Amino acid sequence: MKAIEIIPFIDLTTLNATDGISAVNNITKQAVSLRALNLFPAAVCVYPTLVKQVRKLLPNYISVASVTGGFPAGQTPLKIKVEETKIALDEGADEIDMVINRGRLIDGDVHYVFDEIAAVKEQCGKRLLKVIIESGELHTENLISTATKICIQAGADFVKTSTGKSSVGATPEAVKVICEEISNLNKIKGVSTGIKISGGVATLEDANIYIQRVSDLLGASYLSPHLFRIGASRLFDQLVSQILANT
């Protein structure tokens, strides 16, 4: 795909410990930097404390996403994960990107992970829930497969690869496993679950590797913001630069 075709799939993200109002102002300006071409990212993703300011500055047709669940470690208690999600939604978030407790998953406590996803999805209602499995920390295909199944069975709207804070982000191998489980469970559930690629996707070439993999395994119809997202800021900057250079 060309740079101009990838912009609508992107969740433009700032998730730094130093984020404040200036970071929000910058990222919202980035989000509308291609307004003249009627090109916008799917969403802008920030911490819950910054959601209200982002929503105030963004046009309504760009979604506001917020990370919750004790991002990025996922080690907060379930009631805190639910409360944090409620706060983000009350502040104006349209979408939630939550992290699972990977330690409990690795220990084999699949019921705990299912329950936390289901509880957060219940809080979200009809608003999108993307569940981050942090595939780079799940060191076997079986664990990645299990995490994906739990996400889908618990009601996730998207399965997301990474927080972007781990030493290993998205990989083609992990995305293959996730896509295969999505395909299998789509047939059983009759409902399509989306996929979000995040962690280390920095160039047009990187993005196209994952776009091709998703298209091959889930079909070209999956290449829609309703089912496919890329979480990236460096990529967005590069794409914008390429587009502006060619206009």
CA terminus-to-terminus distance, the chain: 17
226-243 average pLDDT score: 94
Would you say residue 233 has pLDDT above 90? no
Q: What is the pLDDT of residues 144-167, one digit of tens each?
A: 999 999 999 999 999 999 999 999
Would you say residue 189 has pLDDT above 90? no
158-180 average pLDDT score: 97
CB neighbour list of residue 122: distance below 8 Å, 6 or more residues apart: 155
Active centre residues (catalytic):
97, 160, 196
- Better-scored residue on pLDDT, 124 or 233: 124
Q: DSSP per residue over 97-148, as a string? A: EEE--HHHHHTT-HHHHHHHHHHHHHHHTTSEEEEE--GGG--SHHHHHHHH
Task: State the total domains in the chain.
Answer: 1
Cα distance between residue 75 and residue 143, in whole Å: 18
Would you say residue 246 has pLDDT above 90? no
Would you say residue 32 has pLDDT above 90? yes
> Range of 183's domain?
3-245
| pLDDT for res 191 | 85
When pLDDT is cut at 50, 70 and 90, the band that residue 188 belongs to is confident
* CATH number of domain containing 165: 3.20.20.70
Would you say residue 89 has pLDDT above 90? yes
Cα distance between residue 218 and residue 224, in whole Å: 12
How many C-beta neighbours within 10 Å does residue 98 have? 30
Q: What is the pLDDT of residues 194-224, one digit of tens each?
A: 999 999 999 999 999 999 999 999 999 999 9
Would you say residue 121 has pLDDT above 90? yes
